[in-house]
């Protein structure tokens, strides 16, 4: 009976420790840095983990959560434009060398997410790059069409 009691107690204590370890608390386990650049540039959001390096999935969830929070802030604050794009990444700050943080990768080739202000959604950084390329191509096509119309109007 004692062995059963100790086994159950140990299992519950171990499960509680894991549960507490998994859930990070802002300002004790991590803090957020937000830098807003000029209107045409991305804003930067860094989630800095202090004590423990989280699992990539946990860091990814926290970064996405913070991107939603900061992405929806301009809607509440009428002074800033609503279509601000924000790039978010996770970092681990080493207590020995705080000046050299280590970037946390979420997946094999993914270490950042971007909040698209116009679409109000979060995309992976490579998807954001392809989105920018499409936008650039659309702008080129519009420019060529307007130039062609102008030439036709002059003729």
pLDDT tens digits for the chain (155 residues)?
A: 777 766 766 566 655 555 554 455 555 789 999 998 887 788 999 999 988 888 999 999 999 999 999 988 865 555 545 568 999 999 999 888 878 898 999 988 899 999 998 888 999 999 999 988 998 888 888 888 888 888 887 76
Judge whether 134 lies within some domain.
Answer: no
The residues near 98 (Cβ < 8 Å, ≥ 6 apart) are none
- Let me know if residue 146 belongs to a domain: no
**Cross-strand pairs, 115:** 86, 122
Report the alpha-carbon distance of residue 60 to residue 125 in Å, rounded: 13
- Identify whether 4 is part of a domain: no
**Number of structural domains, the chain?**
1
Region at 42 (left for phi over 0; alpha for psi -120 to 50; beta for the rest): beta
- Domain of residue 116 covers 30-124
């Amino acid at each position: 009976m004692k062995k059963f009691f100790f086994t159950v107690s140990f299992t519950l204590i171990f499960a509680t420790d894991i549960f507490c370890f998994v859930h990070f608390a802002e300002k004790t386990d991590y803090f957020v840095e937000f830098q807003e650049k000029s209107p045409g540039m991305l804003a930067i959001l860094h989630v800095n983990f202090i004590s423990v390096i989280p699992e990539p999935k946990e860091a990814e969830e926290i970064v996405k959560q913070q991107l939603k929070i900061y992405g929806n802030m301009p809607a509440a604050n009428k002074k800033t434009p609503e279509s601000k794009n924000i790039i978010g990444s996770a970092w681990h700050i080493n207590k020995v060398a705080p000046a050299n943080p280590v970037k946390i990768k979420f997946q094999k080739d993914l270490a950042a997410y971007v909040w698209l202000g116009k679409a109000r959604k979060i995309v992976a950084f490579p998807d954001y790059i392809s989105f920018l390329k499409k936008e650039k191509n659309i702008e080129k096509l519009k420019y060529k069409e307007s130039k062609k119309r102008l030439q036709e109007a002059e003729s």
